[in-house]
Structure 1
């Protein structure tokens, strides 16, 4: 019976088995680090991060005049005060309208412009992209005077429409760049195949490209919503009537030169933060996927 001997391992193979790969080397180095050197800095960072949130909850939930470091007995008087006496119900409604309208307008215009940047070549495309990038270095305060004059001539002062337009203009350059990056990640051959099957460009976009852009659209839309929800400058400049103001301006009215109602201010801050936290809690998976897909190949 003849048996064939296995070939002797080469020097390279032997060296490869003897030396761990990069991933195993990193894992071994990670295992050799004492755990306290990792968790102690993280715990300190987490402590300093959570202290402000606890401080806000403390002032919002403990009774007026109390100096206890534990919010017990809890009270909801500060929330009731800001919601009814301080007109936070109106501010909340105005912020929702402004945020949702800015989300829809920014996403729709950025989707059209981003598709043009991703799929078409035209003269001046590179300078236009450079202009979009450079516009991000312009602070919003420089836009206040020209925007105010434009809105005054259009009779849009003390109208939520002025804030929505300003937020859309301010958010549009970055949103168009992100949407263009998302669309470039969709293979162009998919649209061509749809055209061969008889679809128009618009129908191919709606049936093929648009469903694949869902993570990117959620990322851009959520970013526009949060910016419009938290932005203070435009709402303060263009809205002077109390029934038209948003939550950031409403929080500013709780502070005066003589005194500050800390309980009402903390309760108003929680009211302003909870919707944003809830939104991000639901869309965090889509948000991370959308920004990562737009940053790889765009």
Structure 2
């Protein structure tokens, strides 16, 4: 009788056991993350500072030679001069090189993104017999250096009368960027639930309309990552522009930088100024899209 009364008293609504308070946030964090809280800050910032200094010294050295007067040996860029920039931009045709590189970079960006988007969607949403072999071929193609393909590409472009045309460089750059771009876009599309497209189909959308309205807006980080990678690679690539473009008014910035190196002497001021001009667009691109770039590459690498 007493045991029954005790049990009834314990189960009464007013005596219900209070839920235990949630553990503090630090206790809920993984042990690996909590371990970094005990590390002194200087053990993190000092190695990072050394690495940053080691990385920035070449850029400072290039900027120093670009703005320092000719013949000066000062380690401080003062007084500064713009004669080297004026020389390479006007006398060495860097304005034309810059325009050609911009055309090649933007065209490669657009072509690579569009083709990779179509190929990545096919790999992510459709099943076919040679899908595994096709993915393996895409991965293996990354081990083929571009130098091995120069002769066959030159013969193809020669027969198509595309030698000494920026179109040949755009095609070559796009072809070599597509395997990695397709893999990244495919992995990113796999992270988008197919049920979203199915709901759009039920509402009367076609596959293409559902893709444009539902999937495409969610692919913005992946598209930015792929497009920026294609632009930067085509902007910096030297080999294709050197082999397929012979006239000076068709050359790009990497080839233009090579013309500043003479057989007996090198104009370090002009070469450094040309390097700064070549680096500025890339730095601006990464400064504006770094968040989308990291998100896109990490999301596209989750699923293959």
TM-score by length of 2: 0.90
2-side partners of 1:180 and 1:200: how far apart? 21
**1:185 matched to which residue of 2?**
191
C-alpha deviation, 1:27, in angstroms: 5.7
Structure 1 residues 200 and 25: alpha-carbon distance in aligned structure 2, compared to 1, 3 A threshold: closer
1:260 to 266, 271, 274: 266
| 2:174 matches 1:173 | no
**2:301 matched to which residue of 1?**
295
**2:67 matched to which residue of 1?**
61
2-side partners of 1:28 and 1:113: how far apart? 43
C-alpha deviation, 1:25, in angstroms: 4.7
1-side partners of 2:102 and 2:224: how far apart? 17
C-alpha deviation, 1:41, in angstroms: 2.1
1-side partners of 2:118 and 2:37: how far apart? 50
2-side partners of 1:239 and 1:230: how far apart? 15
1:104 to 96, 110, 116: 110
| 2:136 matches 1:130 | yes
1-side partners of 2:109 and 2:41: how far apart? 44
C-alpha deviation, 1:134, in angstroms: 0.2
Q: Deviations over 1:169-197 (max 9, x none)?
A: 00011111111111111111111111111
Structure 1 residues 255 and 190: alpha-carbon distance in aligned structure 2, compared to 1, 3 A threshold: same
> Which structure has the greater CA radius of gyration?
2
1:215 to 185, 203, 221: 221
TM-score by length of 1: 0.91
2-side partners of 1:126 and 1:31: how far apart? 44
In the alignment, structure 2 segments of 5+ residues that lack a partner are 1-5
2-side partners of 1:115 and 1:82: how far apart? 44
Structure 1 residues 26 and 195: alpha-carbon distance in aligned structure 2, compared to 1, 3 A threshold: closer
**2:50 matched to which residue of 1?**
44
**1:10 matched to which residue of 2?**
none
1-side partners of 2:42 and 2:202: how far apart? 62
C-alpha deviation, 1:122, in angstroms: 1.1
2-side partners of 1:43 and 1:59: how far apart? 24
2-side partners of 1:82 and 1:292: how far apart? 39
**1:75 matched to which residue of 2?**
81
| 2:244 matches 1:238 | yes
- The number of residues matched between the two structures is 291
**1:198 matched to which residue of 2?**
204
User: Once superposed, what is the RMSD of the aligned Cα atoms?
Assistant: 2.3
**2:3 matched to which residue of 1?**
none
